[in-house]
Amino acid sequence: MLPLVALFIAAFAFGTTEFVIAGVLPQVAGGLGVSIPTAGYLVSGYACGIAIGGPLLALATKTISRKTLLIGLAIAFTIGQAACALAPDFTSMLLLRIAVAVAHGAYFGVAMVVAVGLVPEDKRGMAVAVILSGLTVSNVIGVPAGTAIGNLWGWRATFWVMGALGVAAIATMLALLPRTAGSSNSPASLSHEVRVLGRQQVWTSLILMLMLMIGQFGLFTYITPTLLEVTGLEESLVPWVLLLNGVGATIGVFLGGKLADWKLMPSLITMLFLQALMLGVIYAVSPYPVPMVVAIVIWGGLNFAIGAPIQTRILAWTADASNLASSLIPSGFNVGIALAASLGAAMLNAGYGYRSLPVAGALAMLVAVAVAVASQVWEGRSRVAPPLPAAAE
């Protein structure tokens, strides 16, 4: 379990630096002399770095020892935070954020593979959940703390603290990760890496991931105006609702890990259907504060409970060539987030109100249910077992 703790700390660090920028965006914009909308490119630039650079870096470094690579990525993160704290202008800040994001994308892909290799087969889902929880806990603790630090001592102090967190991640991985972590997987050829993406369990899981992001971020991107304008909450209460949502997500990620280890596909299909129902409930209760808050918390828990079995399934079916596929997990999530936010914006610009967003999410989840059922039936008929990890040379 201790090696997983080391991987969790680094995941927490990467997750915090990705999301904390939203909390200090006005200060960053003022400090770098740009408008807040322009500073918003620091968010989209980071997402692009994960989505595009992460898989490329994972492929370029597939022959490097996994422990060495993970520590190297944490070192890049730490140096990147210090450089961001010293950034003299917006352009350098943007380029530094993109560079850190490339390391972020590669880190989560490699860490997932290493994590499942550190535990018995029946604990893979929980190992994935531990890494995923780094993201949820970063939202519950890291982002509010980083924002508070920025408000007290300025946004550059936030990045110095992120750098210190990177040092802690490096130290724990050096101390706790076994030297042989990830060594059971020998590097596969690029052609084999690409071929495993053709397995229906892999590409259908990636479709499920995109649908999940539409169900989650189509609404979550606009959750604050929805709570203010539709539900009628006071602005001072919105951060508390988001905190409760984050707590629900943290509980959900471990529940999803347990279910993935128990009965992966039946659990996944059931949760996808429940999420479709939950989004329908959000549409129905959105004008009523107390039911809406309860629904938002349950919805947040289901979002991350669903993510764990999807990722566990991808890792299980790409065990013989995991570099590219695992790096596509964070890449797919970020593409899905961008797609969901754009879809939401298009719906709002077309004149549909905020209440339309959970309806679109419910439809996406029903599509996911259909894809998951078809995938399971297809898998049952083919009677093909997941591949074994490629033996190290």
Task: Convert the pLDDT of each residue in 190-211 to its tens digit.
Answer: 777 888 888 899 999 999 999 9
Quote the Cα angle for 292-298-303, to 5°.
Answer: 120
DSSP classification of residue 123: G
Q: In angstroms, what CA-CA distances link 14 with 17, 292, 387?
A: 5, 31, 30
Residues 254-308 have pLDDT tens digits of 999 999 999 999 999 999 999 999 999 999 999 999 999 999 999 999 999 999 9
Find tokens 């409930």 and name the residue: 281
Residue 390 has pLDDT above 70, yes or no: no
pLDDT value of residue 393: 39
Rounded distance between C-alpha atoms, residue 283 and residue 12, angstroms: 32
Rounded distance between C-alpha atoms, residue 324 and residue 232, angstroms: 45
Categorize the per-residue pLDDT at 392 as very low, low, confident or very high, splitting at 50, 70 and 90: very low
Let me know: does 269 contact 137? Beta carbons within 8 Å: no
Give the torsion through C-alpha atoms of 389, 391, 392, 393, to 10 deg: -150
Q: Lowest-confidence range among 51-65, 320-334, 341-355?
A: 320-334
Residue 391 has pLDDT above 60, yes or no: no
Rounded distance between C-alpha atoms, residue 347 and residue 343, angstroms: 6
pLDDT value of residue 258: 92
Residues 210-221 have pLDDT tens digits of 999 999 988 887
pLDDT value of residue 187: 65
Residues 158-174 have pLDDT tens digits of 999 999 999 999 999 99
Note the pTM of the prediction, 2 decimals.
0.82
pLDDT value of residue 183: 60
pLDDT value of residue 117: 86
Let me know: does 263 contact 315? Beta carbons within 8 Å: no
Mean pLDDT confidence for 105-133: 89
Mean pLDDT confidence for 233-241: 86
Give the torsion through C-alpha atoms of 245, 340, 347, 37, to 10 deg: 90
Tokens of 135: 């993201």
Reduced to 3 states (helix: H, G, I; strand: E, B; else coil), residue 193 is: helix
State what percent of residues in the chain have pLDDT above 90. Answer: 51
Count other Cβ atoms within 10 Å, centred on residue 170.
22
- Give pairs for 220-229: CB < 8 Å, separation 24+: 221/340, 221/341, 221/344, 222/344, 222/348, 222/354, 222/357, 223/296, 225/354, 226/286, 226/354, 226/355, 226/357, 227/292, 229/354
Rounded distance between C-alpha atoms, residue 133 and residue 278, angstroms: 22
Which amino acid appears at position 9 of this protein? I
DSSP classification of residue 279: H
Find tokens 């936030």 and name the residue: 158
Rounded distance between C-alpha atoms, residue 298 and residue 309, angstroms: 18
Number of H helices, E strands in the chain: 18, 0
Let me know: does 302 contact 388? Beta carbons within 8 Å: no
Let me know: does 165 contact 13? Beta carbons within 8 Å: yes
Let me know: does 307 contact 252? Beta carbons within 8 Å: no
